[in-house]
Structure 1
Amino acid sequence: MKRKNLITLFWISLATSLFFFFVFTDEKSLDNFILSLLISFMYSFILGMGNGLINDFLNKKLPWSEATTKRAIISIVSILIANTILVYFCNYMNFVIFQKAATTEEYFSGKYNYINWFTINVALLISAFLHARGFMEELKKTSKKEVVEQKLIAKSANAQFESLKNQLDPHFLFNSLNVLSSLIDENPRQAQKFTASMSKIYRYVLEQKDKELVTVEDELEFAKTYCDLLKTRFEDSVDFVFDVKKEDYRRFVVPLSLQLLLENCIKHNFATSSKPLIIKIFSENDTLCIENNLQAREQIKESAGIGLSNIVQRYSLLTKRNVFIEKSKDYFKVKLPVLSAKPNVVSEKIEDTDRAYERAQKRVKEIKSFYGNLISYCIVIPSLIIINLITNPNHIWFYFPMLGWGIGLAAHGMNVFAIGKNWEERKIREILEKQNKQ
C-alpha cells in the first residue's frame, strides 16, 4: 500500500479509538484508552490493509480497463471471502484475546454471530468503496489516455497532411524547370511561351496547394493548360484525350493530382512520333481515371515516388475510398475517387476528439456523483446502525433506510455503469453498423 493510505488508516484508527473511548467506555482510564486504541488500530489496519492489498493485487493482475466484468466478479468473490475471514479473526482477537469476554468455544458456538455479521457488512461497505475508488481512478486514467491519444492522432494527421501538401510546390517547380531547360536548347521561342504559361500555372499551384479538395472542373482546366505545355515540348510524340462526364465537374478531387499523374506518365514512358504516348483522362464509376499506353523506359535513376504516393496518402487522410492502380502489358491506369461532398476529415477528427473529451468530462462527473452517493451511504448507514443498536436494540429499524437507499444506490450504479447513455450509444452504433453491412 502507498504511504498516503497508511497515514489515512492511522488517523481513522485514532479518531475511531477516541470516539469509542469517550462515548462507549464507562471507566475512563489509561489502560482502557490503550485497549481502545489497540483494538481500533487492529480493525483499521487488518481490514484496511487486507482490502487494500487485494485491490492493489487485482489492479496489477487484472486491471479494470482490460476485463471489467471479470474483474468485478473476482472482486466481489474475493472481498466476500477475505472480509469474512478477517472479521472473524479481528473479533476473535478482540473478544477472546484482548477483552477476554468469551472463550474460544463460546466464540465459535454462535454467540457472536450477530456481531460478526454486522462487522462483515461494515467491512464490505468499506471494501466496496475502496474497489469503487480504484475503478474510478482506472477509468479516469484510461479516459485521459484515450483523449490524449486521439488528440495526438488528429495533430499527427494534420501535420502529415500539411507535409504532403508542401511537397507539391518544389516538386512542380523542379519538374517545370526541367521542361523549360530542355525547351531553351530545342526551341527558344517556345521556351518564352512556356515561361509565360508556366507563371500562369504556377499561380494556380500556389492558390490550390493549401486546399484539401478542388472541383473536377478546376482541376481539368489546369490539367488542360499543363497538357498544352507538354504538347509544346513533345509535339506529336504525346496526345491527350479528355472524356469526363459533365455531372462530375462539380464534384471534388485532391488538388494537383492530375498534374502529378501526367508528370508520371511522361517520366516513366518514352514517346516518339512513330510511337506516341496517348494519355486519356475520363470518368468511370465515380472515379476519375488517368490511363496511358505502356511504353516503359529504362530508369537510370530510381524514382523518389513522390507523385503517386503523395496522392494516395492525401486521399487516405480525406476519405475511406482508395486510389486504385491497374497495370497490364498494354496500359497503366490510376483511378482517383471523385467525392460528392467536400469532407474536412482532419478538422473533423479534431472536432470528434473535442466532443469525446466533453463526453469524457461528463462521464467523470456522473461517476463522481455515484461515488459521492456511495461514500455517503458508507458513512450514514453504519452510523444509523450504531444509533439503532444503542438506543433501541429490541426494535431494528435500520433495515428500512439501508435497503431503500441501497436499492437507489444500485439503480444509480446501473445507470452509470451498465444501462446509461454509454450503453445506449453502443447499441445505436451496433444497429447502424448492421444497417451499413446490409
Structure 2
Amino acid sequence: MKRKNFITLAWISFGTSMFFFFAFTSEKTVDNFLLTVLISFMYSFVLGVGNGLINDILNKKFPWSEATTKRAIISIVTILVANVVLVYFCNYMNFVVFQKAATTEEYFSGKYNFINWFTINIALLISAFLHAKGFMEELKKSSKKEVVEQKLIAKSANAQFESLKNQLDPHFLFNSLNVLSSLIDENPVQAQKFTASMSKIYRYVLEQKDKELVTIEDEIEFAKTYCGLLKTRFEDSVNFVFEIKEEDLRKFVVPLSLQLLLENCIKHNLATSSKPLLIRIFTEGDNLCIENNLQIREQIKESAGIGLANIVQRYSLLTKKNVFIEKSEDYFKVKLPILSQKPIAEKIDTNTQDKAYERAKKRVKEIKGFYGNLISYCTVIPFLIFVNLYTQNHYHWFWWPLLGWGLGVASHAFQVFGIGLSWQEKKIREIMDKQKK
C-alpha cells in the first residue's frame, strides 16, 4: 500500500476513536482514551491493510484487464475467507486481550457470534469498496494504455512504411541515371529513346509508390517496360523470360519489387554476349519468383543491400508470409509471397470500431452495476440488522432482506461473470460455425 493510504487509515482511526470515546465510553479517563485509540487503530489497520494487500496481490497475479471473470471469482472467495479470519482476530484481541471482557473459551463458545458477524459485514463493505475502486483504476489504466499503444503502433508503422517507400525514388533515379549516363556516350539515339521510356517508367513509380499493394498484372507490365530499357543497354548480354500463370495476374505483390530485384540481378552479375545473363520471372505456387544464373561480379565496394532489405521489410509490415532467398552454385532465386487479397488489417472499419466500443462500454456498465449492487448490500443490510436488534430483539425480520437481496446479488454476479451476454454470444458463434461446416 502507498504512504497516502496509511495516512488516510491513521486519520480514520483517530476520528473513529474520538467518536467512540465521547459517545459510548462512560468513564472519560486517559487510560480509556488510549485503549479506545489502540483498538480503533487495530481494527482500521488490520482490516484496511489486510484488504489492501490482498487487493494489491490479486492485481499483480490476476489483473482485471486480463482475467475479469477469474479475478471476480477469486476476489469473492478470498475476501470472504480473509475477512472472517481478520475479524475473528481483531475481536479476539479486543474482547479477550485488551478489554478482558471474556476468556478464550467464552469467545469461541458462540457468545460473540453476532458481533463477529456484524463486523464481518462491515469488513466486507470496506473490501468491496477497495476492489471496486481497484477495478475502476485498472480499467482506466488499461484503457489509456491500450489507446496509447495503438497510437504508437500506428504512428511507428506509418513512419516506417513511409520511410521505406521514400527509398524508392532516389534508389530508382540513381540507377536509371547511371544507365542513361553510359548510353549517352555509347549510343545517343538509344539514349533519347531511353529517356522517353524512363519518363514512362518514372510516372509508374510515382503512381504506385504510395500504394501498399499492386496487382501482379500491373507489376509485370512495368517490369517488361523496364526490361526493355535494360535490353537497350545490354542487347544480347541479358535475356528475360516471363512465365506467369493467368490466374495469378489479379493477385497482389508489393509495388516496384520486381524493379528492385531486376536491378540487383544486373548489379551483382556479369553479363556478356559470350556469357549472357538469363533472368526468369515466373510464378511457383503462392510465390512470384525472380531467378538468374549466377555469374557473380567482383565489386570493390560491398553492397548495402537496400533493394532486397526494402522488399523484406515492406512485406513484414503487410503479412506474416516471408520472402525466401535461395542461392546455389548455379543460380540465385528470390521468392515473393503472392497475396490473394489485400490484408484486412490495412484499415480498420469504422463501424467495427464503433461496435466494439459499444460492446466494451456495455460490459463496463454491467460490471459497475454489479459492484454498485454489492456495495449497497454491504451498506444497507448491516444498518437494517442494527435497527432490528436495537428496536425489536424478539423478532429478527432482517433475515428476509438479507437472504432475498443476497440471492439477488448472487444472481447478478452469476449473470455478469457467468452466463451473461458473453456466454450467449459464444454459443451463437459456435452454432453458426457448426452450420457453416
Q: Say yes or no: TM over 0.5.
A: yes
| Counterpart residue type for residue 288 of structure 1 | L
Structure 2 portions without partners, runs of 5+: none
Deviations 1:179-230, CA, capped at 9 Å, x for gaps = 1111122222212221222112111111110111122222122111111110
Query: Distance between the aligned counterparts of 1:310 and 1:429, measured in 2?
Result: 41
Moved more, 322-331 or 126-135: 126-135
Query: Distance between the aligned counterparts of 1:234 and 1:131, measured in 2?
Result: 76
Could you say which residue in structure 1 is the equivalent of 2:290?
290
Could you say which residue in structure 2 is the equivalent of 1:341?
341
Moved more, 399-408 or 33-42: 33-42
Counterparts of 1:279-318 in structure 2, within 5 Å, are 279-318=279-318
Could you say which residue in structure 2 is the equivalent of 1:51?
51
2:139 paired with 1:116: no
Query: Distance between the aligned counterparts of 1:432 and 1:309, measured in 2?
Result: 43
Query: Distance between the aligned counterparts of 1:156 and 1:260, measured in 2?
Result: 24
The secondary structure found in structure 2 opposite 1:212 is coil
| Counterpart residue type for residue 64 of structure 1 | P
Could you say which residue in structure 2 is the equivalent of 1:372?
372
2:269 paired with 1:272: no
- 1:243 deviates by 2.3
Q: What is the alpha-carbon root mean square deviation over aligned residues?
A: 3.9
Aligned in 2, Cα 1:425/1:320: closer, same or farther, shift over 3 Å? farther
Counterparts of 1:22-33 in structure 2, within 5 Å, are none
Counterparts of 1:174-323 in structure 2, within 5 Å, are 174-323=174-323
Query: Distance between the aligned counterparts of 2:257 and 2:281, measured in 1?
Result: 12
- 1:98 deviates by 6.8
Moved more, 307-316 or 44-53: 44-53
Does the 8 Å contact 2:125/2:379 carry over to 1?
no
Deviations 1:308-348, CA, capped at 9 Å, x for gaps = 22112212222233323233332222222232323363434
Deviations 1:136-160, CA, capped at 9 Å, x for gaps = 4335434443443233223222221
- 1:250 deviates by 2.5
- 1:72 deviates by 6.9
Query: Distance between the aligned counterparts of 2:403 and 2:348, measured in 1?
Result: 48
Aligned in 2, Cα 1:170/1:412: closer, same or farther, shift over 3 Å? farther
Moved more, 196-205 or 392-401: 392-401
| Counterpart residue type for residue 283 of structure 2 | S
Query: Distance between the aligned counterparts of 1:354 and 1:237, measured in 2?
Result: 59
Could you say which residue in structure 2 is the equivalent of 1:386?
386
Aligned in 2, Cα 1:414/1:152: closer, same or farther, shift over 3 Å? farther
Does the 8 Å contact 1:154/1:346 carry over to 2?
no
Does the 8 Å contact 1:239/1:278 carry over to 2?
yes
**Percent of aligned positions with the same letter in both sequences?**
78
| Counterpart residue type for residue 322 of structure 1 | N
Query: Distance between the aligned counterparts of 1:429 and 1:405, measured in 2?
Result: 34
Moved more, 235-244 or 180-189: 180-189
| Total equivalences in the alignment | 434
Does the 8 Å contact 1:154/1:349 carry over to 2?
no
- 1:251 deviates by 2.3
Could you say which residue in structure 1 is the equivalent of 2:399?
399
The secondary structure found in structure 2 opposite 1:240 is strand
The secondary structure found in structure 1 opposite 2:241 is strand
Query: Distance between the aligned counterparts of 1:37 and 1:399, measured in 2?
Result: 33
- 1:14 deviates by 7.1
Aligned in 2, Cα 1:342/1:54: closer, same or farther, shift over 3 Å? closer
Query: Distance between the aligned counterparts of 2:338 and 2:360, measured in 1?
Result: 36
| Counterpart residue type for residue 55 of structure 1 | N
Aligned in 2, Cα 1:401/1:88: closer, same or farther, shift over 3 Å? same
- 1:416 deviates by 3.5
Query: Distance between the aligned counterparts of 1:391 and 1:11, measured in 2?
Result: 32
Could you say which residue in structure 2 is the equivalent of 1:64?
63
Moved more, 290-299 or 140-149: 140-149
Moved more, 283-292 or 42-51: 42-51
Deviations 1:242-299, CA, capped at 9 Å, x for gaps = 2223333322221111111111111111111111111122232233222222222223
Could you say which residue in structure 2 is the equivalent of 1:413?
413
Deviations 1:31-85, CA, capped at 9 Å, x for gaps = 699687775555334322332244345556x353688788778766764555344
| Counterpart residue type for residue 148 of structure 2 | V
Query: Distance between the aligned counterparts of 1:308 and 1:160, measured in 2?
Result: 16
Query: Distance between the aligned counterparts of 1:156 and 1:430, measured in 2?
Result: 37
- 1:392 deviates by 2.7
Moved more, 127-136 or 65-74: 65-74
